[in-house]
Amino acid sequence: MKYAVRYYTKTGNTKRLAEAIAAELGVEALPISEPIKEYVDVLLLGNSYYAFSIDPEVRAFIRTLDKKLVGSIANFGSAAMLNSTYKKVKAEADKIGIPMVEKEFHCKGEFKGLHKGRPNNEDLRAAAAFAKSLK
């Protein structure tokens, strides 16, 4: 199986998760500004809630994906207040015909003093275990 890891972050939390996931899969974690140029079975896409939705840059990135190059999308991320972005990412992926992996990874993320230190080492290990479960 071929994997790619892309992420969008404003605080650095999702980047830390992306790096743990990428290390487990033996690939590089790259920001969403880096396009998918060759076929991958699974694109692991890291993102979070910003103003109660996924960031417009994440939405735009998903819309640029070519279903001939991406077999499926696995969602991961963190958030201080809200839960998973899975449904928002899936709604965008459905528009371009790329299926979502049903399982995902989500944890608390530090924001303005809330959930101090998160994601922590335990969260990073859990993110790596999530990636391993996709192999």
Token readout for 57 is 């840059």
Say which residues have a Cβ less than 8 Å from residue 27's Cβ, sequence separation at least 6. Answer: 3, 4, 5
Residue-wise pLDDT tens digits, 26-42: 999 999 999 999 999 99
In the chain the domains, ranked by start, together with CATH numbers, are: 3-133 (3.40.50.360)
SS3 88: helix
Rounded-to-integer distance, Cα 14 and Cα 46, Å: 6
Residue-wise pLDDT tens digits, 49-81: 766 678 999 999 999 999 999 999 999 998 766
pLDDT for 111 equals: 72
When comparing pLDDT for 3 and 48, which is higher? 3
Rounded-to-integer distance, Cα 41 and Cα 26, Å: 14
